[in-house]
Amino acid sequence: MLSDGVWVVVAGGVEHWVRVAGAGNGDVPLVLVHGGPGESSYSIEQSVGDEVAKLAPVVFYDQRGCGRSARPADPSTYTMEQLVADLDELRTALGVERIVPWGASFGCLLAAEYAVAHSNHVDALILHAPPIIDPLHPGLWTMRPGAVDVFLTPDERTALRTQLDGVTESIERTVAALGAIAGSANAARFFYHDPANIPPDENAPESNLEMAMALVGNERVELADDLADLDVPVLILAGLWDRHVGFDMPRDLATRLPRATLEIFDRSAHSIHDEQPGEYVEAIRRFLVR
């Protein structure tokens, strides 16, 4: 039985930070699968987490090496296969048979891979800004320089284009683009439709860049096809102004999936939970009472 509180769960030989909220609701628990790769559940937990926990039990956890969880002794375990195995060990340790993986950004890839591998343990899926593409799409990382370019100042734009001249490897181009936006005077506009919505929070855990570099660009191109073969309800949450993942990927994925519901947030970029928190929670509520 789930119990509210903060716990340590060992999965894949690594201690994972776990928090359960809303256990008394007695329904299938939502398991927040955070983004990054290498970030933590902190942002969504702090913004809308407890409101969602009023609707159903919610399990927050930080993936191996992330946030408040321990780092593995062997960094070669930063793989999608291991993260899927960790999530299933977590489910077993919590004593629940079925879950609703609630993925955010990169976490949507993990949530979807888990659903494909363990469909018998998945009641539904919630995908916030899913970067899940079909095999013919050029890919998120290939498109990253173009997404960043529009927000740079003229001098920053010229510098990035000069830096990328002759560079064809997508990860190298991505790293350069991310470096440009990170140092830009307009960086906030890349992640938020309205920069005034950025929550001031000095307690957010630092990112695990080692994990990020191990997983970025290794997405499985067959995932969208495999996910479309599942008979599972899926809620897709998409910010109209999302430049990080884009709007077309969530929209097109919703078209592919047989039981998908697409919710569009017209005043949000990537961090919908910060920009339209009330509407975000309401969309999840409607989905859960379907």
Q: What does the pLDDT read at residue 91?
A: 98
In three-state secondary structure terms, 241 is: coil
- The closest alpha carbon to 224, from 212, 234, 213, belongs to 234
Express each pLDDT in 157-211 by its tens digit. 999 999 999 998 888 898 899 899 989 999 998 989 999 999 988 889 999 999 9
pLDDT value at 1 more than 80: no
% of the chain residues with pLDDT over 70: 100
Evaluate the omega torsion of the peptide bond into residue 57 and state whether it is cis, within 30 degrees of 0.
no
DSSP per position, 125-165: EEEES-----TTS--HHHHHHHHHHTTS-HHHHHHHHHHHT
Alpha-carbon distance of 46 to 204, in angstroms, equals 10
Q: Return left, alpha or beta for 239; rule: phi > 0 is left, psi -120 to 50 is alpha, else beta.
A: beta
Give the gyration radius of the chain's Cα atoms.
18
Looking at every residue in the chain, the average pLDDT score rounds to: 95
Express each pLDDT in 269-281 by its tens digit. 999 999 999 999 9
DSSP per position, 160-178: HHHHHTT---HHHHHHHHH
Lowest mean pLDDT among 47-61, 90-104, 111-125, 182-196: 182-196
pLDDT value at 56 more than 90: yes
pLDDT value at 218 more than 90: no
Q: What does the pLDDT read at residue 138?
A: 83
pLDDT value at 134 more than 90: no
Q: What does the pLDDT read at residue 268?
A: 97
* Confidence band of 78 (pLDDT split at 50, 70, 90): very high
Q: What does the pLDDT read at residue 279?
A: 98
Angle at 188 between CA 142 and CA 125, to 5 degrees: 60
Q: In this predicted model, which residue has the larger pLDDT, 10 or 170?
A: 10
Q: Return left, alpha or beta for 177; rule: phi > 0 is left, psi -120 to 50 is alpha, else beta.
A: alpha
Residue indicated by tokens 């002794």: 73
Q: How far apart are the first and last CA of the chain?
A: 25
How many helical (H) and strand (E) elements, i.e. helices and strands, does the chain have? 13, 8
